[in-house]
Amino acid sequence: MMGSECEAGSSSKHRKKNKPLMEKKRRARINKCLSQLKQILIQDQHKNSQSHAKWEKADILEMTVEYLKTLRQQKSTDTSPATTVPSPTVPPTVPLQYSNFMQQYLIYQQQLAAFSSYMNFNLASTNHGNFSK
């Protein structure tokens, strides 16, 4: 019993020791994301450089929420119910890869057909007249 109590105590101390480091990392992630949101807002809303230098974190979050609401509203008015299925984005290399695949597939099919014909001919010629009664 004594050993498990010591382990629990050391685990608790370890967590307490790491808590400031974990908090620092969490804040860094939040600040990084806020910075990215700020850049998106600046680019998409064409804000001048003097006004965005003073934005607080709450300002960035509020403007992001408003921006997303505007985008959602535009999307709902721009698309009709028949075209609400999003079109998949195709990387530029996919058509080339598909074309190469189809070429290889067609070559394989031709070779398979030729081999099949060859095998059928050989089977027919070797079995011809070898039927026993």
**How far is Cα 71 from Cα 103, in angstroms, rounded to an integer?**
43
Residue 54: per-residue pLDDT: 82
* Residue 79, pLDDT above cutoff 70: no
Q: Hunting for tokens 């010591």 — which residue is that?
A: 6
Residue 44: per-residue pLDDT: 79
Q: Considering the domain boundaries, does residue 123 fall inside one? A: no
Q: Considering the domain boundaries, does residue 57 fall inside one? A: yes
Q: Considering the domain boundaries, does residue 90 fall inside one? A: no
Q: How confident is the model at residue 34 (pLDDT cuts 50, 70, 90)?
A: very high
Q: Domain containing 49: what range?
A: 12-78
> What is the count of structural domains for the chain?
1
What is the rounded average pLDDT of the residues 11-33? 90
Q: Considering the domain boundaries, does residue 58 fall inside one? A: yes
Q: Considering the domain boundaries, does residue 125 fall inside one? A: no
Contact 60, 34 (CB under 8 A): yes
CATH of the domain at 21: 4.10.280.10
Q: Considering the domain boundaries, does residue 34 fall inside one? A: yes
Q: Considering the domain boundaries, does residue 43 fall inside one? A: yes
